[in-house]
């Protein structure tokens, strides 16, 4: 039989305190109006049909549901409200003395006949009027209630207008001991909850006999009916008694239910304070009982749907459609049926915490299939953990085919830790440290302080600046070394050119120097022009890629691009003219002729061929070294700017490191405090921040 709730436990509205026309006090009118109003309700999943001392209203609702009416409620359970023979303290001097009520919620699986014969008829009536109530041998039946009513009406004319049943209900009570004794019968075992309403019990004193009464009531009750946050929190161990003290005093923490306590059609399933009772469970009485074991996690009294504040990044569903005869190869090469062959479809709960199954049932394989469907999956990871998906008989690629057969949207920020990785982390301190560090990073983002992610980014930015500073120092040192060598070479060459003192030799060298300077100047100009031209083209391409609107400056961008293109054309025209003039002058040809003339002159002076070559090209080489120095000094400028901010860069790094370290220490201290006392290890669990300088 398919599940009515494939996603498992979800937050839904429950109203477990709705009276009917069978109650002795109500303003519903007739049953037809009441049923019509209930039939219009669409946002309540479970209804608790509540009546005083009777189950007649619940019986009527069951009959209607059997006939096909009121199917808008997934579950209807009986709630019998009883008045105890316990006085509630007066809040004002003029207030009339009242008795404390208690509710008994039964499972819908309990037969109506058993509730009547084994529970209600097992309670002895007490007559209102004297302290503690007068003893009475009659049991709680409708007939006995009416008998009491008739007796009361004979002596109290003020109630003469009431029916016998109403008059009886107003004047009877039952004892808590009778209630608990009747509920011990086997037909009720595990199929009821006792609920205390507030503020009645909350007004009982903490002193003397009253204290014992209050303690007994809270120890007996499974939950309370309450819509006030202070009392709700107190019953969860968040008040003057912490959770341990509360459990010691009253047995366990008490979940808080809330209902409309509707006595009129206008108030049906509409609590006066606007807060609803939200319960996260299956739509069964067994699901309701889970609030007793998880009182803070399973029930909320609030206006908004609690699921709206749950995690938004989740896997909603999973479906695969694999061949029904799909085989998998084991280590020996033998082929067997794959554990998840055929069609599977799962709806996943928002807060799924585990998948339970025996060894070999496919739990790890399920995780591998979901990982394989993830947009950021890495096939190498599946290979490193020896995933069974790699051994499937699906060609040409098992992973690709499985991915195509999987329908599962996995959030991009999902983290995957596979069994093999966890086992490795347990054995490898480095792997474990990496896992813990990732957890600490995430923990830092949930307590309202600065996140380690942000501080890590700031620290990384400052660390990168330090790396740039070190690189700038290295580049400056390298450039200084290059310039120093070039200057030494220039000095050496100039000394060589000054060896010969004749007028003719100096004239040759002067002429060659002038030509070399002109050639070097042109080459520098050409290099700078080509570099500038590429930068203009790059800027123009960047402008083309900007999809700006008119409000963002689209018109200015167009003007800037037009200006760039215009200036680029003008610069090109200037370069072309200058280049043509340079070609016309033929400075390289003149230089070559001058060097030949100098070479002949030096040969006539008896110099060796090697000396002739060195002296002839000395000025040309000097100019080349000077150009090398010029370009090196241009390259050095940005590194000088970086290095000039050395002190600020180092201070920023130290500040960001200290901020990260302090925040890291506060996060690990908080985690250590939460882990303190866990019986995970005989040794205390501690964390520390250490830097591996071998990686620096």
Structure tokens at 607: 């110099």
What is the predicted pLDDT for the residue at 491?
87
Strands (DSSP E) contained in 180-267 are 192-197, 223-225, 256-257
274 touches 301 (CB < 8 A) = no
Contacting residues for 47 by C-beta, under 8 A, at least 6 apart: 15, 16, 18, 38, 61, 73, 75, 76, 77, 269
The neighbouring-strand residues paired with 56 are none
Half-sphere exposure of 233 (CA within 13 A, CB side): 6
Q: What is the pLDDT of residues 596-644, one digit of tens each?
A: 887 787 777 776 666 666 666 777 788 788 888 888 888 899 999 999 9
User: Side-chain half-sphere of 470: how many Cα atoms within 13 Å?
Assistant: 8
Q: With beta carbons less than 8 A apart as the criterion, state whether 366 and 355 touch.
A: yes
51-76 in b/e form (b: 16+ CB < 10 A) is bbbbbbbbbbbbebeeeeebeebbbb
* Residue 515, pLDDT score: 86
Residue 131's pLDDT is 42
Helix boundaries (H) for 67-197: 112-114, 142-155, 164-169, 176-182
Burial 11-21 (b: 16+ CB within 10 A, else e): bbebbbbbbbb
Task: List the one residue out of 219, 213, 181 whose CA is nearest residue 200.
Answer: 213
Q: Is the torsion defined by CA of 183, 168, 47, 353 positive or negative? A: negative
Residues (pLDDT < 70) of the chain are 1-8, 89-97, 128-137, 156-161, 199-210, 308-312, 351, 447-448, 499-500, 607-616, 677-685, 691-696
Question: What Cα–Cα distance (Å) separates residue 465 from each residue in 241, 457, 468, 661?
Answer: 53, 12, 5, 19
Query: CA 224, CA 256: separation in Å to the nearest integer?
Result: 5
Tokens 């050496």, residue?
A: 492
pLDDT at 2: 42
The pLDDT score that the predictor gives to residue 136 is 64
Measured CA to CA, the distance from residue 292 to residue 193 in angstroms comes to 9
Looking at the DSSP bridge assignments, the partners of residue 49 are 18, 78
């Amino acid at each position: 039989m398919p599940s009515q709730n494939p996603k498992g436990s979800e937050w839904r509205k429950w109203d477990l305190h709705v009276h009917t026309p069978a109650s002795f006090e109500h303003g519903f009118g007739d049953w037809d109006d009441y049923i019509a109003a209930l039939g219009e309700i669409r946002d309540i999943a479970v209804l608790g049909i509540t009546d005083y001392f009777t189950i007649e209203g619940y019986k009527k609702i069951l009959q209607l549901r059997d006939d096909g009416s009121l199917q808008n409620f997934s579950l209807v359970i009986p709630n019998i409200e009883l008045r105890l023979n316990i006085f509630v303290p007066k809040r004002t001097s003029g207030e009339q003395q009242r008795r404390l009520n208690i509710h008994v919620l039964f499972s819908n699986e309990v037969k109506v006949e058993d509730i009547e014969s084994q529970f209600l008829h097992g309670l002895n009536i007490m007559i209102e009027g004297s302290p503690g109530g007068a003893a009475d041998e009659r049991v709680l039946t409708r007939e006995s209630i009416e008998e009491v009513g008739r007796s009361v009406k004979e002596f109290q004319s003020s109630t003469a207008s009431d029916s016998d049943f109403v008059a009886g209900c107003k004047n009877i009570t039952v004892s808590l001991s009778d209630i608990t004794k009747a509920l011990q019968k086997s037909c009720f075992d595990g199929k009821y909850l006792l609920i205390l309403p507030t503020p009645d019990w909350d007004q009982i004193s903490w002193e003397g006999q009253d204290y014992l009464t209050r303690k007994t009531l809270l120890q007996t009750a499974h939950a309370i009916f309450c819509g006030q946050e202070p009392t709700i929190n107190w019953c969860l161990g968040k008040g003057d008694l912490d959770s341990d003290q509360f459990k010691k005093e009253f047995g366990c923490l008490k979940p808080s239910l809330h209902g409309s306590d509707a006595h009129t059609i206008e108030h049906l399933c509409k609590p006066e304070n606007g807060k609803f009772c939200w319960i996260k469970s299956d739509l069964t009485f067994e699901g309701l009982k889970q609030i007793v074991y998880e009182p803070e996690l399973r029930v909320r009294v609030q206006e908004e749907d609690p699921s709206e504040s749950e995690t938004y990044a989740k896997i909603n569903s999973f479906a695969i459609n694999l061949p029904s005869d799909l085989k998998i190869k084991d280590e020996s090469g033998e082929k067997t049926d794959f554990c998840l062959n055929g069609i599977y479809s799962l709806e996943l709960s928002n807060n799924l915490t585990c998948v339970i199954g025996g060894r070999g049932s496919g739990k790890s394989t399920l995780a591998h299939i979901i990982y394989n469907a993830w947009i950021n999956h890495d096939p190498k990871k599946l290979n490193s953990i020896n995933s069974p998906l790699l051994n499937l008989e699906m060609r040409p690629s098992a992973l690709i085919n499985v991915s195509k057969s999987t329908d599962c949207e996995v959030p991009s920020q999902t983290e995957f830790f596979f069994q093999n990785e966890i086992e490795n982390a347990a054995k490898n301190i480095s792997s474990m440290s990496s896992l813990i560090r990732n957890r600490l990073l995430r923990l830092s983002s949930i307590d309202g302080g600065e996140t380690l992610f942000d501080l890590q980014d700031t620290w990384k930015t400052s660390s990168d600046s330090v790396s740039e500073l070190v690189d700038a120092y290295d580049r400056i040192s390298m450039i200084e070394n290059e310039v120093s060598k070039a200057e030494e070479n220039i000095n050496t060459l100039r000394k060589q050119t000054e060896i010969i003192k004749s007028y003719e030799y100096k004239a040759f060298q002067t002429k060659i120097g002038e030509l070399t300077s002109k050639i070097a100047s042109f080459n520098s100009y050409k290099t700078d022009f080509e570099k500038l031209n590429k930068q203009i083209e790059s800027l123009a391409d960047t402008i083309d890629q900007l999809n700006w609107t008119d409000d963002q400056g689209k018109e200015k961008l167009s003007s800037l691009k037009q200006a760039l293109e215009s200036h680029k054309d003008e610069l090109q025209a200037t370069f072309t003219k200058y280049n043509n003039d340079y070609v016309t002058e033929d400075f390289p040809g003149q230089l070559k002729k001058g060097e030949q003339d100098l070479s002949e002159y030096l040969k006539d002076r008896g110099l060796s061929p090697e000396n002739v070559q060195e002296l002839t090209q000395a000025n040309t080489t000097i100019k080349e070294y000077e150009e090398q120095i010029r370009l090196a000094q241009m390259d050095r400028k940005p590194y000088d700017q970086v290095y000039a901010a050395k002190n600020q860069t180092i201070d920023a790094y130290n500040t960001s490191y200290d901020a990260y370290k302090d925040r890291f220490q506060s996060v690990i201290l908080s985690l250590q405090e939460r882990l303190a006392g866990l019986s995970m290890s005989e040794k205390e669990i501690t964390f520390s921040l250490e830097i591996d300088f071998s990686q620096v």
